[in-house]
Amino acid sequence: MEKTITARTGNEAMAEAMRQINPDVCAAYPITPATEIMQIFAGFVNDGKVKTNLITVESEHSAMSACIGSAAAGARTMTATSSQGLALMHEILFIASGIRLPIVMADVNRALSAPINIHCDHSDTMAERDSGWIQIFSENTQEAYDSMLQANRIAEHKDVQTPVMVTTDGFIISHGMERLEMYPDAEVQKFVGEYKAQYTVLDTDHPITVGSLVLTDYYLEYKKAQHEAMKTAKRVILEVGKEFGKTFGKEYGLIETYKTDDADFIIVVMGSTAGTTKAAIEELRQEGIKAGLLKIRVFRPFPAEEIAAVLSKAKAVAVLDRCESMSNQAGPVAVEVKSGLYDAGVKVPLASYIYGLGGREIYIEDLKNVYRELKNISEGKSKPEQAKYIGLKE
Amino acid sequence: MSSPKQAAAVENKLNGGHRACAGCGFPIAIKEVLSSCKDPIVVVSATGCLEVTTTIYPYSAWKVPFLHNAFENAGATCSGVEGAYQSLKKQGKITKNIKFVAFGGDGGTYDIGLQSLSGAMERGHDMLYVCNNNEAYMNTGVQRSSATPKGTSTTTSPAGKVINGKQQNPKDLTEIMVAHNIPYVAQTTVGMWPDATKKFEKAFSITGAKFVNIYAPCIPGWGYDNSQTIKISKLVADTCMFPIYEVENGKYKINYKPSTKLPITEFYKTQTRFKALLKDEAAIASIQAYYDAKWARLLLMEEATNKA
Residue among B25, B26, B31 nearest B10 (CA): B31
- A62/chain B closest Cα distance in angstroms: 5
Same domain, A294 and A151: no
Nearest CA in chain B to A67: B80
Distance separating alpha carbons of residues B113 and B120, to the nearest angstrom: 11
pLDDT band with cut points at 50, 70 and 90 for residue B11: confident
Distance separating alpha carbons of residues A173 and A359, to the nearest angstrom: 12
Same domain, A36 and A155: yes
| Interface ipTM > 0.95 | yes
Residue among A263, A306, A261 nearest A281 (CA): A263
- CB contact (8 A) between residue A202 and residue B83: no
Decide the pairing of beta strands B66-68 and A209-210: parallel
- A93, pLDDT greater than 80: yes
List pLDDT tens digits, range B250-280: 999 999 999 999 999 999 999 999 999 999 9
Q: What amino acid is encoded at A350 in this protein?
A: L
DSSP H/E element including B88: helix B74-90
Q: Report yes or no: A75 at the B interface, CB cutoff 8 Å.
A: yes
- A256, pLDDT greater than 80: yes
Same domain, A228 and A273: no
Residue A364 lies in a domain: yes
The pTM (predicted TM-score) of the whole model is 0.98
- B43, pLDDT greater than 80: yes
List pLDDT tens digits, range A296-328: 999 999 999 999 999 999 999 999 999 999 999
Q: Report yes or no: A50 at the B interface, CB cutoff 8 Å.
A: no
List pLDDT tens digits, range B160-207: 999 999 999 999 999 999 999 999 999 999 999 999 999 999 999 999
- CB contact (8 A) between residue A75 and residue B90: no
Give me the mean pLDDT over the A243-267 stretch.
98
pLDDT band with cut points at 50, 70 and 90 for residue A166: very high
Same domain, A230 and A299: no
Same domain, A347 and A214: no
Residues of B in contact with A205 (CB under 8 A): 40
Distance separating alpha carbons of residues A368 and B211, to the nearest angstrom: 63
Distance separating alpha carbons of residues B223 and B228, to the nearest angstrom: 10
Residue A394 lies in a domain: no
Domain residue limits at B119: 4-305
Residues of A in contact with B104 (CB under 8 A): none
B268 in Cβ contact with B211 (< 8 Å): no
Domain residue limits at A39: 4-248
Compute the mean pLDDT over every residue in chain A, rounded to the nearest whole number.
Answer: 98
- B34, pLDDT greater than 90: yes
b/e per residue B156-176 (b: at least 16 CB within 10 A): ebebeeeebbbeebbbebbeb
Q: Which residues, other chains included, contact A242 with Cβ-Cβ below 8 Å and sequence gap of 6+?
A: A251
| pLDDT at residue A9, rounded to an integer | 98
- B126/chain A closest Cα distance in angstroms: 13
Residues of B in contact with A103 (CB under 8 A): none
A52 in Cβ contact with A21 (< 8 Å): no
Q: What amino acid is encoded at A359 in this protein?
A: G
Residues of A in contact with B68 (CB under 8 A): 210-212
Q: Report yes or no: A27 at the B interface, CB cutoff 8 Å.
A: yes
Strands (E), B82-230: 99-105, 127-133, 184-189, 209-215
CATH code for the domain of A295: 3.40.50.920
**Number of domains making up chain A:** 2
Residue from the list B55, B81, B87 with its beta carbon closest to the beta carbon of A209:
B55
Same domain, A81 and A207: yes
B236 in Cβ contact with B43 (< 8 Å): no
φ, ψ dihedrals at B211, nearest 5°: -135, 130
Last residue of a domain, one of A205, A222, A248: A248
B289 in Cβ contact with B297 (< 8 Å): no
CATH code for the domain of B229: 3.40.50.970
List pLDDT tens digits, range A115-129: 999 999 999 999 999
Last residue of a domain, one of A198, A227, A248: A248
